[in-house]
């Protein structure tokens, strides 16, 4: 039950983040903080009702994801991943755990790569090294697919 609520809350917050990422090319901190708060609230409830939550795992996953992606962004001059995406992935790691995040991360990057290849083929002149695409829609798709896999497995 808690896992379903975590995924549903994550989906709602990601819908809002996707909307602003598409419109303004920004993922606001209020979405990241909302996701962290939602995860914290439900993990507290889970602790109260079931007695054990791997707080250390959730926290270290979020910190590790944040630091790892931040290093990648620094090494690539911010061209590979944006700050909002980094914070969003870290919040997802805290809310859903590292296992779910790894699947979401893989699926979102796979979908993003397919989209980028398609865009490059279709719009050769417009898509160059400076071309940027909002990534929140692919993160949202990754969460939807991962949640579908959790439900059916």
**Exposure string for 31-65, b = 16+ CB within 10 A, e = fewer:** bbebbbebbeebbeebeeeeeebeeeebeebbeeb
What's this model's pTM, rounded to 2 decimal places? 0.91
Annotated domain spans of the chain = 2-152
Q: From 93, 94, 3, 100, select the one nearest 46 (Cα to Cα).
A: 3
In tens, the pLDDT along 57-102 reads 999 999 999 999 999 999 988 778 899 999 999 999 999 999 999 9
In tens, the pLDDT along 89-147 reads 999 999 999 999 999 999 999 999 998 888 777 766 665 666 678 899 999 999 999 99
């Amino acid at each position: 039950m808690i896992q379903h609520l975590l995924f549903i809350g994550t989906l709602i917050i990601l819908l809002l983040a996707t909307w602003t990422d598409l419109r303004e090319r920004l993922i606001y901190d209020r979405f990241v903080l909302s996701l962290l708060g939602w995860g914290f609230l439900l993990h507290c409830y889970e602790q109260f009702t079931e007695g054990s939550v791997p707080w250390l795992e959730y926290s270290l996953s979020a910190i590790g994801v944040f630091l790892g992606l931040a290093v990648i962004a620094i090494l690539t001059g911010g061209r590979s991943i944006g700050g909002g995406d980094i914070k969003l992935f870290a919040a997802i790691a805290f809310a859903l755990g590292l296992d779910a995040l790894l699947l979401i991360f893989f699926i979102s990057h796979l979908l993003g790569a397919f989209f980028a290849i398609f865009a490059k083929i279709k719009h050769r002149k417009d898509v160059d090294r400076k071309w940027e695409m909002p990534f929140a829609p692919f993160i949202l798709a990754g969460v939807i697919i991962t949640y579908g896999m959790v439900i059916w497995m």
